[in-house]
Amino acid sequence: MTTSIKDVALLAGVSVATVSRVLGNGPVSAALRAKVEAAVAQSGYRPNLSARRLRSQASRTIGLIVSDIRNPFFTSVSRAVEDVAYRAGMRVILCNTDENPDKEAMYLRLMQEERVSGVIFAATRATADSLDVAGLGFPVVMIDRAGPAARCDAVLLDNRTAAAQLVEHLLGRGYRRIGGLFGNTSSTGAERHAGFVEAMRGAGLPAAARFVAPSAEAAQAAASAWLREADAPEALIASNGLLLLGAVKAVREAGIAVPGQLALAGFDNDSWTELADPGMTVIEQPVDEIGRAAMEMLLERLERPERPLRKVVLAGRLVERGSSQRRG
């Protein structure tokens, strides 16, 4: 059917070993190299990567396991990962887990069967805490989330500081009754909650927080209910872009004025946050840098498996917009 290295060797009048060496830029005389290259061009030969991987025991493939590629944070991260990976001659297998530990386990098994060189993983809290990284057979770089028990490299945001920064910002604008909406499946939500609580306590204020499933729908429902209560907050923080989106929808549905009746702020500088009036105040994550750093870290780990574990902690950037304007 398709032409193999044997066909090319026959056509060029050399051994398959020589063809293989030409393809792999090994030591070959100019004369034979020319003959082989002509035969390759003439036959339209393409090396079979499955055979190459099997024989060389190197898959040159990495896995990228995230909750949902439709989350703009992961969309951007994945694009950055792929760019670095392809440039390094590695392929990427993308997996969407929907924050479901069963799917996470299934994809980790698949990664083993693919004999991947390594995995970049945004794990749920449940998996991050229980994962036996050593038994996996490949290195893992955690992104976005990392449990305290995770014994592997990681690229993270300084979540506590960023959340505290958001609180300080709102306090500086005159808000006191600040509520927080946090995701309940990731360590990220927990850390941002911790930063939120710290900053509120530091100001001698109570820290009202609610934990929800990490989807816009769940956040919308929770915010709707909360804002109808007697002691509803005067400012609301959402711990990621999806939750912030849900909060905005709830607020619009209820006809609540922002920031007049309620100030809003959150994480992730998704494109809609700039365009939704009056503009959302957010912590921008360096999404490209997170993806790039994770992939580079993985490549370095593959080169030196014994190097000490590293955590890269990146700072968020506060983008001030109308949704948190001074209390009037």
| Shorter beta-carbon distance to a second copy: residue 2 or 29 | 2
Applying CB under 8 A, the span of 53-61, 118-126, 152-160, 228-236 interacting with a second copy comes to 53-61
Using rule CB under 8 A, residue 96 touches a second copy: yes
Using rule CB under 7 A, residue 244 touches DNA: no
Using rule CB under 7 A, residue 37 touches DNA: no
Q: Which of 18, 76, 239, 240 binds a second copy (CB under 8 A)?
A: 76
| Shorter beta-carbon distance to a second copy: residue 29 or 50 | 50
DSSP alpha helix (H) spans, 176-261: 187-202, 216-228, 241-254
Q: Which helix (H) or strand (E) holds 257?
A: none
First to last CA, the chain: 76
Asked if 238 contacts 193 with a C-beta cutoff of 8 angstroms, the reply is: no
Q: Which of 38, 40, 44, 54 binds DNA (CB under 7 A)?
A: 54
Kindly give, in sequence order, each residue whose CB lies less than 8 Å from that of residue 306, ignoring residues fewer than 6 positions away: none
| Residue list 124-163, contact with a second copy (CB under 8 A) | 135, 137
**Looking at the DSSP assignment, which residues form a beta bridge with residue 212?**
183
Site of tokens 């790039």: 292
28 interacts with, out of DNA, a second copy, none, CB within 5 to 8 A per kind: DNA
Q: Which of 49, 105, 225, 254 binds a second copy (CB under 8 A)?
A: 49
Site of tokens 């996470």: 104
Q: Which amino acid is at 298?
A: L
Q: Which of 25, 41, 44, 57 binds DNA (CB under 7 A)?
A: 57
Q: What is the 3 state secondary structure string of 24-82?
A: CCCCCCHHHHHHHHHHHHHHCCCCCHHHHHHHHCCCCEEEEEECCCCCHHHHHHHHHHH
176 interacts with, out of DNA, a second copy, none, CB within 5 to 8 A per kind: none
Binding positions for a second copy, rule: CB under 8 A: 2, 44, 46-51, 53-54, 59, 68-70, 75-76, 78-79, 82-83, 91-94, 96, 109-110, 112-115, 135, 137, 245, 248, 270-272, 275-277
